Chain A
Amino acid sequence: MAQKTEKKQKSRISPIFKRAIAHLFTKPATTKYPSAKPVLPPDTRGRLIYEIKDCNAIDFGSGPDFRLDIKVMRGSTCHVCERDCPAAAIKIVEVDGKQRPQIDLNKCIFCCQCVETCPRGAIKQTDLYELAATDKESLIMKPKYTQKDASP
């Protein structure tokens, strides 16, 4: 009987004690972020990259998975990424006499609608998420960017 009450008393104090001891040997719930980078799931939506060689306004409309029901004339400038961007982050600017999209990552909401819309697959998504910069200008992806330039 005496043993039983002792056991009962022991179990009454033990939850906190057990938990405190257990926490000494368990891994912390937090991660050491800058030194240990998290493993991201596949296809996380991060910074966009843009390949100028794939963006071709002249051949517009010949892509195999072109699913848009818009009326576009062949030979005209595509502009669908600019039209679909919900945050108005994509602006068409002139580069070497051709019209190309310029992506402003300051405005980008990382929905990757442009990736889906682009009939030529010129805009791609990456899982780069460390976009902090001291200069807003540096986050505007000028159309001269290539994949090589964009990778860190």
Chain B
Amino acid sequence: MGVNGDASFVANNGLHHEVFKVLLDADEKTGITAITGLDLGANIGVYYHVRTSKSFFTIKAEVPKENPRLKTLIDIHPGALFHELEVADLMGAVFEGNELKGHFVLSENWPEGVYPLRKDVDLSQVKFVSTPEHETNKSAEGREVKIIIGPQHPALLEPEKFSVTVDGETVTKVEPRIGYVHRGIEKSTESHTYLQNTYLVERVCGICNPCHAYSFVGTVEKILKLDIPERAQYLRVIALELNRLHSHLLVLGHAGLEIGYETVFQYFWRDREPIMDLIELTSGNRVYGSLMTVGGVRRDISQDHIPKIKSVIESLRGKLPFYRKIYNDEPTLRLRMKDVGTLSREDALRLSVIGPIARASGVDIDVRKDRPYAVYGEIPFKEIVYTDGDTWARMNVRMDEVEESLNILDYVLDHMPTGPIRIEAPRSVPPGEAVCTIEAPRGELLYYVRSNGTDIPERVKIRTPTFANIPSFLKTAIGESIADVPSNFVSLDPCFSCTDR
């Protein structure tokens, strides 16, 4: 049983470490996309989803459930840190050299030794332990002071905690604690049908919901070996690019809000509104499109709507030079963003950073170019790469991508073929497994689905972009002023609902 469309091989007894080292030496762009923990009965499967410059494959390791120990990868690739901790917390695998203390995703009052993603766990029997004492702002030894940002903090719109240790005004250490919005969606998918899961996975993230739906139906279609009609693929690209537009406009404005430049925020959000109207026009709802379904899309775009979409694209394109000028020339923005949170190319590669953050540091990874999905292979567009690596470059990557998205939309609307938008798909999925990666607005999004022949999946693994990008913040915040933390952080376009799932 192989992972459909992508190669996979078994590497037991610590071989995964050797294999990954060879790959890393051969190709500098090798990175860990995700680590999936699987309950295989007597064994625990630890699947390393690895990307290189042009390929994507899975290294499968299995360890016995009684003694689920295997070698960590953080000694050769620090980007594996978060992925390993997550598998350790939810599946109970032990990574030698990267042991988990307490919990990583689960809440503090979750008992030790109960791993919710294992099949044999009886969740009704779980006895919560008492919550340990809360951390407070306090002086560490000597001159250093610990400042807790979050879970409730004006700079973070969603709950997540970062304990920042400062010496004077300089940040010396950042300790993250994620999991405040962990809703157990991965576990929940194991008790819903594929059809219901299409809507459930959209709820992982409000902003990039079509990306989640597309990835999920993409994996299921790979297992079913369905041939999706071309018009449906074009309609999906429209949904994904409208989503990228609104997400990028959102963060470009939100960055202005974080640094106290509210005019920028108001302007960007004003111009984001017509995009939201287009999403409503094409999908039937402002936020949750619910457009994707296994076998195609649920609704077509009528010919009468195309002029309206085009006029919105044109008006937004006309406004872009003004915004570009603001981000380039405005002294306030430059002061708060230039040379803030600089991430070097080497660090970006080492930390497996993805999406606009990697592209701002000179790493040219974009799933749309590297491993084209839907009809991205036919569409001409530029891959935006900046080399500065700072907050300003990250924002400008997004600014340029807004323009590229507008070009893609123009191309797609002009070249859309006619034909069916949907084919019949069975509700039960034959046994198999598949991986689908796509370029969400925040970076590479991975879905792994394992089916067992029924209409309910056996395991759905979701690896969201922010989860992979948070380590870059932990690196870049150190040595900079505490006042730069918000603008540095918002340049990741963090989405914690995504991160925690």
CB of B65 closer than 8 Å to a CB of A: no
Do the beta carbons of A43 and B199 come within 8 Å of each other? no
Smallest Cβ-Cβ distance to A116: which chain B residue: B298
Smallest Cβ-Cβ distance to A41: which chain B residue: B281
- Cβ contacts under 8 Å, A146 to chain B: none
A135 to chain B, nearest CB (A): 25
Of residues 67 through 105 on chain B, the ones whose CB sits less than 8 Å from some CB of chain A are: none
Of residues 90 through 143 on chain A, the ones whose CB sits less than 8 Å from some CB of chain B are: 109-113, 116
Q: How far is the CA of A40 from the CA of B276 in the complex (A)?
A: 12
- Cβ contacts under 8 Å, B284 to chain A: 41, 43-45, 112
CB of B196 closer than 8 Å to a CB of A: yes
B425 to chain A, nearest CB (A): 9
- Cβ contacts under 8 Å, A10 to chain B: none
CB of B138 closer than 8 Å to a CB of A: no
CB of A70 closer than 8 Å to a CB of B: yes
Q: How far is the CA of A87 from the CA of B202 in the complex (A)?
A: 12
Of residues 258 through 303 on chain B, the ones whose CB sits less than 8 Å from some CB of chain A are: 270, 273, 277, 280-281, 284-285, 288, 290, 298-299
A72 to chain B, nearest CB (A): 13
Q: How far is the CA of A41 from the CA of B302 in the complex (A)?
A: 12
Interface size on B, residues (CB 8 A): 24
B429 to chain A, nearest CB (A): 12
- Cβ contacts under 8 Å, A29 to chain B: 270, 273
Q: How far is the CA of A43 from the CA of B428 in the complex (A)?
A: 30
- Cβ contacts under 8 Å, B428 to chain A: 69
CB of A63 closer than 8 Å to a CB of B: no
**A44 in complex: contacting residue of B273, B285, B298, B426, CB < 8 Å:** B285
Q: How far is the CA of A110 from the CA of B298 in the complex (A)?
A: 14
Interface size on A, residues (CB 8 A): 21
Of residues 41 through 61 on chain A, the ones whose CB sits less than 8 Å from some CB of chain B are: 41, 43-45
Do the beta carbons of B280 and A44 come within 8 Å of each other? yes
CB of B427 closer than 8 Å to a CB of A: yes
- Cβ contacts under 8 Å, B195 to chain A: 84, 86, 113
Smallest Cβ-Cβ distance to B269: which chain A residue: A29
CB of B495 closer than 8 Å to a CB of A: no
Q: How far is the CA of A68 from the CA of B424 in the complex (A)?
A: 9
Q: How far is the CA of A146 from the CA of B197 in the complex (A)?
A: 30
Do the beta carbons of B288 and A111 come within 8 Å of each other? yes
CB of A67 closer than 8 Å to a CB of B: yes
Do the beta carbons of B427 and A67 come within 8 Å of each other? no
CB of B313 closer than 8 Å to a CB of A: no
Smallest Cβ-Cβ distance to B322: which chain A residue: A15
Given the contacts A29-B270, A29-B273, A67-B424, A84 and B285 also touching, CB distance less than 8 Å: no
Given the contacts A41-B280, A45-B284, A45-B285, A111 and B199 also touching, CB distance less than 8 Å: yes
CB of B317 closer than 8 Å to a CB of A: no
CB of B446 closer than 8 Å to a CB of A: no
Smallest Cβ-Cβ distance to A39: which chain B residue: B277
Given the contacts A29-B270, A109-B199, A112-B290, A86 and B426 also touching, CB distance less than 8 Å: no
A13 to chain B, nearest CB (A): 15
Smallest Cβ-Cβ distance to B302: which chain A residue: A42
- Cβ contacts under 8 Å, B273 to chain A: 29
A130 to chain B, nearest CB (A): 14
CB of B192 closer than 8 Å to a CB of A: yes
Do the beta carbons of B196 and A84 come within 8 Å of each other? yes
Instruction: Give 23 A-B contacts (CB < 8 Å), ordered by A residue.
Output: A29-B273, A41-B280, A41-B281, A41-B284, A43-B284, A45-B285, A45-B290, A67-B424, A69-B428, A70-B427, A83-B193, A84-B193, A84-B195, A86-B192, A86-B197, A86-B199, A87-B199, A109-B288, A110-B285, A111-B288, A111-B290, A112-B290, A116-B298
Known pairs A29-B273, A69-B427, A113-B290; list 15 more (Cβ under 8 Å): A43-B284, A44-B280, A44-B285, A45-B284, A45-B285, A68-B427, A69-B428, A84-B193, A84-B195, A84-B196, A109-B199, A110-B285, A111-B288, A112-B284, A113-B195
6 shortest interchain CB distances as A-B pairs: A86-B196, A86-B199, A41-B281, A45-B284, A111-B290, A29-B270
- A residues near B (Cβ < 8 Å) are 29, 40-41, 43-45, 67-70, 83-87, 109-113, 116
